[in-house]
Amino acid sequence: MINKIHVNLNFNSYDIYIGSQLLKDESISSFFLSNKNSVIIINENVYNIILKNKLKTNFYNYIKDIKFFLIKDGEYYKNFKTVEKIISFLLNQSYGRDLSLIALGGGVIGDITGFVASIYQRGVNFFQIPTTLLAQVDASIGGKTGINHSLGKNMIGSFWQPKGVLVDIDFLLTLPKKHIISGIAEIIKYAIIFDNSFFIWLEKNLLKILNLHENELLFCIQKCCELKVRIVENDEKENNSRAFLNLGHSFAHAIETYTGYGKWLHGDAVSVGIIMASYLSFQLNILKEDDLFRIIKIFHNIGLPTTGPKNMKPNDYLFLMLRDKKVLNGVIRLILPITIGKVKIFSSIDQNVLLESIKKFQKKYIF
């Protein structure tokens, strides 16, 4: 069965296809892969998996006639140097504005491909075929593209919507468990932000998702996609409610920048970031202690980290968070949970209060 979610953005509208062995549907395969002027952007790891034909879908047969551009695997390579290599390849091959780029991989591939698509000859089409759980539930949807700078994560980028997103759960069969677990962090994020009932469902079903049970997995992916689409349709350029999706990310991006890109998986950093945001909310007498413990417990039970790098000091967090994209006029804007299923943007938290909360958090070893 194929599920389809429409993203209604007027001229930038597109569809998300969710299911298994989706390319067996000729209308889908021709839509995503028929353009003679297409280039697939892929990392070496995913490319080797496809060449070794580990996928049940025999995916390689669908893409063997399309040109590839390989990049190194990892967040470390999400930078201007990689972008320049891709653009140089496209120019040397004389690709014009009728080019379509296909992002085949995880969030890093999607971010880089979308960014290149947004700036190459002032904009070309691109498609998302996410192969990781994190990308399937979050990163591939909504048109956020970007690359990292040594001073901050995702500091250079653009909004550039894909022409379509193909979410095939068969790709997940190729992933190490640690990447499935990392993706689950973003799933939990959606429940904390939007839906207490979904959070309760996750408390009961996370192990089934981890073990890739098809019914629970498809339900979960569709639920997250629907929640994100609703937000993106209302606030495409993140001027208001789309910022909710950054719950925990100010802390998480600080961890990723401090440790060096790629040392921490994004979902692992998000897990710690959400817990730190929840702890701050509790310290401010906003979030109830029972909700805080449930949030910590659900991340802990699935195997996600609940504390940050041991050598990262409170001042390190504050210094890097002050460079975050959500800082306006020197004021840190933080998204904090006020209960499970509801969050709020706070723009008036004193830096000393934030610093003290981080110090207390680091002293408190709950597990």
The yes-or-no answer on residue 301 being catalytic is no
75 in a known ligand binding site:
yes
Catalytic residue among 216, 236, 238, 256: 238
272 in a known ligand binding site:
no
83 in a known ligand binding site:
no
107 and 135 in contact (C-beta within 8 Å)?
Answer: yes
Catalytic residue among 228, 236, 256, 325: 228
Catalytic residue among 36, 122, 204, 364: 122
The yes-or-no answer on residue 216 being catalytic is no
The yes-or-no answer on residue 253 being catalytic is yes
144 in a known ligand binding site:
yes
266 in a known ligand binding site:
yes
Reduce the secondary structure of the chain to three states and give it as a string: CCEEEEECCHHHCEEEEEECCHHHCHHHHHHHHCCCCEEEEEEHHHHHHHHCCCCCCCCHHHHCCCEEEEECCCHHHCCHHHHHHHHHHHHHCCCCCCCEEEEEECHHHHHHHHHHHHHHHHCCEEEEEECCHHHHHHHCCCCEEEEEECCEEEEEEEECCCCEEEEEHHHHHHCCHHHHHHHHHHHHHHHHHHCHHHHHHHHHHHHHHHCCCHHHHHHHHHHHHHHHHHHHHHCCCCCCHHHHHHCCHHHHHHHHHHHCCCCCCHHHHHHHHHHHHHHHHHHCCCCCHHHHHHHHHHHHHHCCCCCCCCCCCHHHHHHHHCCCCCCECCECCEEEEEECCEEEEECCCCHHHHHHHHHHHHHCCCC
153 in a known ligand binding site:
yes
Catalytic residue among 154, 186, 216, 223: 186
Catalytic residue among 242, 256, 325, 326: 242
Catalytic residue among 163, 223, 249, 325: 249
The yes-or-no answer on residue 266 being catalytic is yes
- Backbone φ and ψ for 5, nearest 5 degrees, come out as -120, 125
267 in a known ligand binding site:
no
Catalytic residue among 246, 256, 325, 326: 246
The yes-or-no answer on residue 186 being catalytic is yes
Catalytic residue among 163, 189, 266, 325: 266
22 in a known ligand binding site:
no
356 in a known ligand binding site:
no
| Of the candidates 269, 263, 226, the residue with the CA atom closest to the CA atom of residue 247 | 269
78 in a known ligand binding site:
yes
The yes-or-no answer on residue 230 being catalytic is no
The yes-or-no answer on residue 238 being catalytic is yes
249 in a known ligand binding site:
yes
| C-alpha span between 300 and 296 (Å, rounded) | 6
Catalytic residue among 179, 223, 253, 325: 253
The yes-or-no answer on residue 228 being catalytic is yes
Per DSSP bridges, beta strands 14-19 and 3-7 are antiparallel
110 in a known ligand binding site:
yes
152 in a known ligand binding site:
no
74 in a known ligand binding site:
yes
| C-alpha span between 160 and 12 (Å, rounded) | 9
- Please identify every residue annotated as catalytic: 122, 144, 186, 228, 238, 242, 246, 249, 253, 266
- Residues within the annotated binding site? 73-78, 107-111, 131-132, 144, 153, 171-174, 186, 249, 266
- Residues within the annotated binding site for Zn(2+)? 186, 249, 266
- Residues within the annotated binding site for NAD(+)? 73-78, 107-111, 131-132, 144, 153, 171-174
